[in-house]
Amino acid sequence: MNRSINDQNSKLKIFASYIVPHRGAFALDMCLSLAVAVVDLAFPYMTRQSLNSLLPKGLFGAFFAVMGILFVSYLLRAWFQYLITIIGHRMGTLVEADMRRDIFTHMQSLSFSFFDRNRTGVLLSRVTNDLFEIVELAHHGPENLLICGVTLLGSVIILLTFN
């Protein structure tokens, strides 16, 4: 995909254009992030419901079955978190490769006078460090926004149902 660094489009649009070719991995990453948030919300809700309704009635078998299901869901959550890490970092690496290619092409088009005015080490340091931060944002940013948003909204809903 041909992207121009000096494009007049918004920076977010340019950023999103690097994610679009990897939308399958991005979508899977977001679905797994949503599952992690749901499991995190289910644990306190199900624990409270079990403690308040199953134990007072002496339904110990049902209580331990619910706790077993919650334990299995936390194992599943750990697996999802592992997959999020693997898929997210793979997607980040692919996005970084695309960005590096475009930055290299752009830097090749700059005039010699630009490199006379700017120190090469400073330019390479900026490109390397800034690109690393952008790539980290590319996969951790959206998943953290989703997890935090769902957790916050879900927590408010759960608290309103409790009281």
Angle between helices 11-19 and 60-109 (to 10 degrees): 110
Tokens linked to 149: 């948003």
**Which is higher by pLDDT, 82 or 136?**
82
pLDDT band with cut points at 50, 70 and 90 for residue 79: very high
pLDDT band with cut points at 50, 70 and 90 for residue 4: low
Among 136, 113, 114, 134, CA closest to 123: 114
> Residue for token digits 């991005």?
26
Residue 123 pLDDT greater than 90, yes or no: no
Residue 6 pLDDT greater than 80, yes or no: no
Q: How far apart are CA 91 and CA 83, in angstroms?
A: 12
